[in-house]
Amino acid sequence: MTRAAVALGSNMGDRRANLEFAVRGLASCGEVVGVSDLYETAPVGGPEQGPYLNAVAIVDTTLPAEQLLAGLHDIERRRGRTRTIHWGPRTLDLDLLLYGRESHTSDSCMVPHPRMHERRFVVEPLLNVWPEAALPDGTRVSTFAATFADQDLSNLGAWWPPRQAGQGFRERGGWWVVAQLLLIGLVVAALGMGGPVIPGESALRVGGAVLALAGLALGILGLSHLGDRLTPFPEPLAGGEIIHAGVYATVRHPIYGGIVLGLVGIALFGASLYGLLLAMLAGVFFWMKAGREEMRLLERFPHYAEYRERTRARLVPWVL
């Protein structure tokens, strides 16, 4: 049994789902005994392209180095990797960094990886999961860690086992959903309980009706573009994609915005002070939930930051 280190990288499509696919695929090559934190890095070399997600997996394997590398290439191929542009963008990139304390040099396999010591996005994740890693000559990989001052890298934290549908309610952000339903229920309850009334009833009823209808329209437009990709959880669906057509070209979270407008409109229509205060609290809540969701989207998709910069409104088009 030989302990090998495999570098994982992706900057196309659902980057995190691509890396999750790779770790699961490595089970066909041996036993995955460790996976590093997740890192985001700028591309090194090649044409202009989006940032990468990177990690390192440690595998105990009985396969010879050449067969292990062939297995890595097969995992890349099954995830749609094409090798048309040197150092170009890729759905999945798997590199064999270390194969025990052995060296291999051939046309098809070079281990240790010849450029490993030049790349912070390789060395730092490797040390994160295998601190005592060393080259065949005994040189500790940790000796390279001080040579990357000019290379930016962001540690996004632990990610394996993955957060995804099918795992725990809490890991998917289930308590956000509970709080969301509770707030909506409280607004409805406040309308039925009576209490202080907001003055200007006739004008409020007209304004409230307009806002409620606008919220309904905004929510329906958002739903129509999501289809079966709709999820109440802030954790994005694995294998999804960024939607930027239709209403999503003007607002990033139209469904949340529609709910907020609808709640405020209903509270105004009912002239309920308590209902309005709770609806405004719901607005703050959905703003925070949308922010949590965007953190996950930034983690998965390399171009979400560009979309967010282009589409400035978070909840209500051109307003909020």
Active site residues: 81, 90, 93, 95
Under 8 Å CB-to-CB from 184, ≥6 apart: which residues?
259, 263, 282
The token duo for 244 is: 């930027």
Q: Would you say 248 and 225 are in contact if contact means Cβ atoms under 8 Å apart?
A: yes
Can you tell me the distance from the alpha carbon of 36 to that of 125, in angstroms, rounded to the nearest whole number? 6
Q: What DSSP assignment string belongs to 208-246?
A: HHHHHHHHHHHHHHHHHHHGGG--SSSSPPTT-----SG
Closest CA to 98 of 128, 123, 71, 73: 123
Can you tell me the distance from the alpha carbon of 35 to that of 161, in angstroms, rounded to the nearest whole number? 9
Q: What share of the chain is helix, strand, coil (3-state, %, to 5)?
A: 50, 15, 35
Can you tell me the distance from the alpha carbon of 1 to that of 251, in angstroms, rounded to the nearest whole number? 53
Under 8 Å CB-to-CB from 60, ≥6 apart: which residues?
1, 2, 3, 4, 30, 31, 33
The token duo for 40 is: 């985001």
Can you tell me the distance from the alpha carbon of 7 to that of 127, in angstroms, rounded to the nearest whole number? 12
Can you tell me the distance from the alpha carbon of 236 to that of 243, in angstroms, rounded to the nearest whole number? 12
Can you tell me the distance from the alpha carbon of 262 to that of 273, in angstroms, rounded to the nearest whole number? 15
